[in-house]
Structure 1
Amino acid sequence: MNKSQPLPASDAAQSELSIETVRAAADRIGDAIVHTPLLKSQTLSSIAGAEIWLKFENLQFTAAYKERGALNALLHLTEEQRSKGVIAASAGNHSQGLSYHGTRLGVPVTIVMPRTTPTVKVMQTESVGGNVVLEGETFDDAYAHALKLEQEMGLTFIHPFDDPIVASGQGTVALEMLEQESDFDCLVVPIGGGGLISGMATVAKALNPDIEIIGVQAALFPSMYAHVKGKQMDCGGDTLAEGIAVKAPGKFTSGVIAELVDDILLVEENALENAVSLLLQIEKTVVEGAGAAGLAAVLANPDRFAGKKIGLVLCGGNIDTRLLANVLLRDLARSGRLARLRIQLQDRPGALFKVMREFDEHNVNIIEIYHQRIFTGLPAKGLITDIECEARDRDQLDSLIAALQARGYAVSLVELN
């Protein structure tokens, strides 16, 4: 039965975050969200040297946990607020969750996005009923315009993370996890603005004060990490984890995090890429960069988590398919299964054929060949050949390279960063 019903205005005025507000949120949103599975991964546990449990929030209808907090906020609205509608600034999962449940409840939803937002995100939000307004070049521009429209149109602004009502909704993730498995040593949770980890830490510490709460941020956007630790650190860059790429941490959430979160770890881009790839290959589940951040942190810090029972939240699965393809191919390259070899040759008949024989003898498949005669530092009779190839593993590739070098070829492997 769908139990999602608005609360009286007196309850809507409650502004604290506690285990009680999270439990009330769980009752309020009821079956209007997916009660996602929590499953142990035997293979990832073996790789990590720890017991890994995955909470599949990427299986929500809009593929992200953000639905929980958005719906909780919508159900706090008075009838007058519901009739006028709500507004938010978001180019991500909050916009889709708010639009989907707003449409379902008959509440008009306006989402302000920067003009630079990818068309696919605009279309996804509109497809679930949101009215998208494009304004400004940055999120800050969109946020300022949303606040302006809030006043001009009498709308109710729903913040994506810095709101105890929203955080209470997000905390229902932990409530479900700890009902499914009660004896975790630690929960490892991605941090953007801090709404998810604030709600989850509130629940976990109330139910088990000894449980360790570890936050994770992309190294390119260490905003909460720097704030909590009192450091000055730059934020910016093209991170795979755009869902947690927040430059300014929430004021409310940073206070909760400082009190309840035991540590925050930073993860590099290659670790995020590896985690996304592993989850697809091993668990057959698609996650975005932010959704893979917890696993990335565990694998990057094996001594920190060795032997522990760990709960990870796969918080979202909204990743562009072309980007996902790039991540998977780059992972194959790092493992040695795909490679680009740069070989110096003399520009004479049969030179390339002799090289091809080595590839054939080592059973390495050639995908593409690129000759460069002009833009090189070699003599006029020399050339550079880049050969993209596919090997069984790194050992097979290394054997081919060694054989080519033994025959006098100058060979280099074009490495990824």
Structure 2
Amino acid sequence: MIEPFEDFRKSLSSVKYASLQESSSEVKPDNDSFDQMREFLLSRYDGVDVRHSFVEPGGEVVDCVPVEQQFALRDSSEVPEPPDPPLELTGGDHDDPALGESRPIPPPLSPENHDDYGNQRWCPPGTVPVLRHNLERLAADHSTLDDFLIGPKAGDNVRRHAQARQEVPNLGGASDVNIWPHNLTSPTLLSSASQQWYSTGMLPFVTLQTVECGWRAGVIAAPPNVVHDTLPRLFVFYTNNNYAKGASFYNDYSPGGFAYTPGANHVLHGAMTPVSQTDGTQWHVRMGFTLTQNRWWFHASGVWVGSYPASLFSNGTLGSGAFQASFGGETTTGFSFFPPMGSGRFPSEGFGKAAYQRLIGVNNTAGIPVAAQLVPGEVSPGCYRVAIASSTDSAWGTHIFFGGPGGTNCPL
């Protein structure tokens, strides 16, 4: 059964560092960092009135909280009003795609869906889904609170990419992001993602800022037993100052950051299922960002999930628009070994084997989606590659195949 929210919140104060350290070899932080984690969670859940809870498809508990009580809006009197539904690229018949059929995953949150305990996987009107984080998990997965808040972008991690990009003034974009499982059985710092970046680019005298979205698989240790959760999970991320700690936040971890919209059909860090199989059914989710109404709005499966205020980027230029849109994969490691990216196959193996993003569009400065005009971006060709193509098939349009097996020799 799901632990009642009030019992969970009370337990945050009762967990002792010394006893946790004695009972689990997985504890990473020192005592001071552990206390910072506790204070963060106590603050995150302070005054929250949970109306309903359920277990999402990947096994994590999700609490439905009043929209104004979520962490990002705690100090705000204004709940963002969502814009009209996201615009899509125009096209013809999608029923007979020339390159292969890709199916959209069913949104995981729906009034028709129920978890194994019979709880509806849906939040009542006026509430939003918020994934529950417990103190034991944070202490097993992260050495410091900052490492949790910034996610896999943490400074000690090394990143590699296989990207395609377009340098053009834009207000976001979207793509169908192919979903793949992963078998990351190595240490916890490994992660692998398929994602989008909307950024300032590397302009001279301009602070690097980004908003990012996609799915990421990473090894997670869950005490008291180490369970490696390598499911592809939804994420968003932003930095307003070159990936620096305190200026970069994963998911909805920042006060004043990402705010959910009522009616969201996805929850951040929720599992993306079903997943594609080699030479089998291919699955995707359409997602992207749009800058409108002074916010960067994130959508998935045709519904606004939430948004960042443009004011987060007042120290730079992303608050009024991006200059670069990028699509592809990213891996991170704290060691010498880099994990597989995408499906683990090189793009030359094509549909049914290699991971892809398709129907890639970029929103022009009028907010209208147009087909992306991509060129190769950053790659590590010995480990990861990207192939760019354009098809008259309206289900595919501009698309990329990308990824690779990773390994120990992955130079830029």
Instruction: Classify the TM-score, shorter chain.
Output: under 0.3
Report the TM-score, using the length of structure 2 for normalisation: 0.25
Report the TM-score, using the length of structure 1 for normalisation: 0.25
Give the number of the structure whose residues are more often helix, by fraction. Answer: 1
